[in-house]
Amino acid sequence: MIGRTAARVRREQALDFVFGYTIVNDLSIPHEQRHRPAVKEQARDGFAPVGPWIVPKEEASPLFSLTARVYVNGRLVQRADLSRFRLPVEQWLAEVTEFMTLYPGDVLFFSWPADAPLVTAGDVVRIEIERIGVLENEIALEQGGDE
């Protein structure tokens, strides 16, 4: 989570703009990637639960030394060291703030390593990241929807 306005940030100073870290359950409907952004499949109401709190960066640093675990219905389905993120936080912030300004309270999502688990309605997804917390969500069908 961003702690102060960040625009054209240099990589060496990027963490000065970070307030802290939280967990995001970045849900999406399985889809083929085409020539258009997958807005309908990824940006629906309720598709990005966040929480349960924000941990100040000093309490979760260094971020890339932490491990995340994903459970579906109580079964461990994924474990990853955060060092496997595609880009370090500092580089990601530097690149994003080249073309957009980030403000206090803004949250940037970091890509999970490949092979995200598939879930269906009724499944319970639990994400644990040491020193950050636990986020648990039950998957539900969209009211009036069939996806």
Token pair 């040491």 is found at 130
Instruction: Specify the 3-state DSSP secondary structure of 99.
Output: coil
Query: Is residue 30 predicted with pLDDT exceeding 60?
Result: no
Segment 2-8 shows an average pLDDT of 97
Q: By percentage, how much of the chain surpasses pLDDT 70? A: 80
The torsion of the CA quartet 10, 37, 146, 28, rounded to 10 degrees, works out to -30
Instruction: Please compute the mean of the pLDDT values over residues 90-96 and round it to a whole number.
Output: 92
Structure-model confidence comparison of residues 65 and 145, the more confident one: 65
Percent of the chain with pLDDT over 90: 48
Indicate the pTM of the whole model: 0.81
pLDDT digits (tens, 9 = 90+) for 42-86: 656 666 778 899 999 999 888 778 899 999 999 999 888 877 776
Token pair, residue 130, equals: 């040491």
Which residue ranges form the domains of the chain, and what is each CATH number? 11-138 (3.90.850.10)
Question: What's residue 54's pLDDT?
Answer: 93
Distance (Å, rounded) from C-alpha 116 to C-alpha 112? 7
